[in-house]
Structure 1
């Protein structure tokens, strides 16, 4: 469908449906922006934001019988 045909179709709709089309276009723009942001992530961007406790690798007490 060409842009001209799309304009004719939208203009033939009642005003309330035109508003729905406009809302849907805004939704699609927002959805596209969110996808663009996800693609721009870099490796290591969260470095230093996650801290593990010093005893993270120590065996758990509840598994002492199995070690």
Structure 2
């Protein structure tokens, strides 16, 4: 069984699960540390699509007066 559970890890290494987990026996776990600010998922998903427009030379020229 694979189940992803969000958690926070304190500076002393204490892991705090953000939801309850019910297990019938001890299980192994893999911890991935995400050292990034909380960013809405929709912003991350839109970034690549928006970059296609933002990173055009026409956009640079249109906004150059603000630099």
- TM-score (norm. length: structure 2): 0.27
Q: Comparing both structures, which one devotes a greater share of its residues to helix?
A: 1
Q: Comparing both structures, which one devotes a greater share of its residues to strand?
A: 2
- TM-score (norm. length: structure 1): 0.27
